Amino acid sequence: MGKFPEGFLWGGATAANQLEGGYLEDGKGLSVPDMIKGGTVSTPRVITSTVHEGEYYPSHVAIDHYHRWKEDIALFAEMGFTCYRLSINWGRIFPNGDDAEPNQAGIEFYRGIFEECRAHGIEPLVTLSHYELPYHLAKEYGGWINRKLIDLFVRYAELCFTEYRGLVKLWLTFNEINCLCAPFGNVMGGGILPPGDNVPLAYGDPHAMAWDDPSKRYQALHHQFVASALAVQAAHRIDPANKVGCMIASRAVYPYCCRPEDVLLAQDTVRMATYYCGDVHVRGAYPRWAPRFWRDHGIEFVREPGDDAVLAAGPVDFFSFSYYKSSTVTTDPSVPIAGGNVFYDDAKNPYLEVSDWGWAIDPKGLRWLLNELSDRYQCPLMVVENGLGAADTVEKDGSIHDPYRIDYLRDHIEQMAEAIDDGVDLMGYTMWGPIDLVSAGTGEMKKRYGFIYVDKNNDGTGDLHRARKDSFYWYKKVIASNGEELG
């Protein structure tokens, strides 16, 4: 097994809408997640057109990081974090997204967090857009299908680069931007709102999918590409020390068997799962096979004169991605489909175990993916989300034993080391999420990822106290040994 390089970035990753709370405090405006209520695997989340009084919206309090951030960062520092990936909620900076002036209280809130990270020797890695579009931009502009959002985003990004110059030098533009390639990316990724009230957001739900328009999704995605490229250029202009990455939801994709139809389907799937967006971000142009994809799927969208030049001029400095699972695909309708909260019509892979939520556990798939990405893009890579959602048990003495989480992370870290030995330029690892937070997919608290337990239940009850799990102490040893002590 290879060794991790000196200066490798170790830490964890969160998103503002899943942990901050304080959803209307100190001048913050509504964001799209603030309009999404309830939800478990068996009772899908729904989006409302107004906030329904007396009903449970998970993001409104989340885990109250807004009032507890010093305590939480101190716990990250105790583990030895050298990097912390977090997001800025656009609505804290510009409450409506198009305000004439920014909200100074929001600017200062994040400044305090970045200064606290620096005081603990933690490098902030900041995502500018992590499913936190101001609701006003979704409702009044139609979300990212409106080209006006490009200028609004760039203005927001430029303000962040200017205000936090010297505090933040690692940035990501859009979280899992490729979610717009699938129908469930409509709302969270694109801010494209459904008609009506109480609309389900579950992947595959006929009511949730009925209003989907692929052309609108790919138009929104194109606008985000242009906005990202312009933001990269602005970041470099405002502070040459800035490094900006993309963030892609990635997974290893296998054919179910060696039938040529399955092999071709796996090739097409990984292209759209990773390479469609990755090529635009890193190579500065749509892949050669994109026109046929658009034609075959009846996708039409507008590319203004000059857009291609903007994309070519704004490639990212590094490629970051999330990896939780692999997918197995087949054209054979008789093959059983994986169950649980998996988001894709994956075939059951007989060689892999699955998580409590049905996600295939595949550490070696991470090594495969790292090598594929390294060969294709030949730039630094970073794993910025990877973790195991599981139901934890608090013992009578308050301890939380989570060997399953340790096993999952150990196995993935071992495969990262193997990829480094293969020659992959891997700059860091921020697992998801170091502290229990609200699930983006289901709205649950029961689906826990953290090294730090938060006392909160699916219905919002709980006193929010923090507690260290066994994995907390394990990860502390991993970081202190730079990945050598994994036992």
- Catalytic residue numbers read 176, 385
Tokens of 231: 């933001």
**Is residue 191 within 8 Å of 32, Cβ to Cβ?**
yes
Burial class (CB in 10 A: 0-12, 13-18, 19+), 306: exposed
Rounded CA-CA distance 67/131 in Å is 21
Which among 374, 349, 366, 442 has a CA at the least distance from the CA of 409?
366
Determine if residue 58 is left, alpha or beta; phi over 0 gives left, psi from -120 to 50 gives alpha, anything else beta: alpha
Of all helices (H) and strands (E), which one includes residue 277?
A: helix 276-278
Of all helices (H) and strands (E), which one includes residue 9?
A: strand 9-13
Residues facing residue 453 across a β-bridge:
467
Rounded CA-CA distance 285/127 in Å is 22
Rounded CA-CA distance 294/480 in Å is 48
The CA-based dihedral angle spanning residues 7, 10, 11, 12, taken in that order and rounded to the nearest 10 degrees: 120
CB atoms within 10 A of CB 214: 18
